A and B are shown apart, each in its own frame.
Chain A
Amino acid sequence: KNEVEQSPQNLTAQEGEFITINCSYSVGISALHWLQQHPGGGIVSLFMLSSGKKKHGRLIATINIQEKHSSLHITASHPRDSAVYICAVSSNYKLTFGKGTLLTVNP
């Protein structure tokens, strides 16, 4: 069993829809990270969370430490949001990654 599980693996939405990507983890962590990777591109760090909720523009990330669960929400989705979203947890030096969620937003 992977230490970091993401769902769904693939997600297709229409422009304007509200999107949720989930992440569950089974290990103790220092922080949880949400990362974005566009096709053929490098990785951009969206959020780093150790508790509560963070918001940046149309993106919101929440974490429930007791339940070992995090969600990434995108409000008013846009085709430029199409990318792979990766959840990762950090413990000491090490990042452990989920397999990613491929999001496609159609116009």
Chain B
Amino acid sequence: DVKVTQSSRYLVKRTGEKVFLECVQDMDHENMFWYRQDPGLGLRLIYFSYDVKMKEKGDIPEGYSVSREKKERFSLILESASTNQTSMYLCASSLGYFRGSYGYTFGSGTRLTVV
């Protein structure tokens, strides 16, 4: 069964800490995405990557960075965590070169709380 695996289901971090959220997919997908999901706002794109070492900003990249050193792994980094980054973070992947016409596979999500 194809999978997108997020390293942690729940995470609690302190304000100012550097936080790494890891995502691994086993489907040889080119595209990988990081979203955050907040009540009333739905899912919003933070960053995506269409190839190794390639990345593009999404709608809300401020306060985040990403790393994609290997095709199967896409990391989201909170350089200095703040309480307004408390959220559910979802990773997704898809086939295709800049094309959204292929199905997406989502991870189970990481619920991050910054205290």
Contacts of A42 in B (CB 8 A): 90, 106-109
Residues of A within 8 A of B42 (CB): 86, 97-100
Indicate if the CB atoms of A94 and B45 lie closer than 8 Å: yes
Report the minimal beta-carbon distance from A18 to chain B, rounded to whole angstroms: 26
Q: Is the CB of B100 within 8 A of A93?
A: yes
Are B101 and A93 closer than 8 Å at their CB atoms? no
CB-based nearest A residue for B110: A42
Which segment, of A44-52, A60-68, A72-80, faces chain B? Answer: A44-52
Rounded to whole Å, the gap between the CB of A47 and the closest CB of chain B is 9
Q: Report whether A43 and B90 are in contact in the complex, using a CB–CB cutoff of 8 Å.
A: yes
- CA of A11 to CA of B42, assembled, Å: 17
User: B100 contacts which of A30, A43, A45 (Cβ < 8 Å)?
Assistant: A30
Interface residues contributed by chain A, number (CB under 8 Å): 25
Q: How far is the CA of A98 from the CA of B111 in the complex (A)?
A: 21
Does A19 make an interface contact (CB < 8 A)? Answer: no
* B residues less than 8 Å from A44 (CB atoms): 106
Instruction: Please tell me if the beta carbons of B103 and A45 are within 8 angstroms of each other in the complex.
Output: yes
Q: Which of A88, A93, A100 makes the CB contact (< 8 A) with B99?
A: A93
Please give the residue numbers on chain B whose beta carbons come within 8 Å of chain A beta carbons, in ascending order.
31, 33, 40-43, 45, 48, 50, 56, 58, 90, 92, 96, 98-109, 111
Q: Which residues of A contact B (CB under 8 A)?
A: 29-31, 33, 35, 40-45, 48, 50, 86, 88, 90-95, 97-100
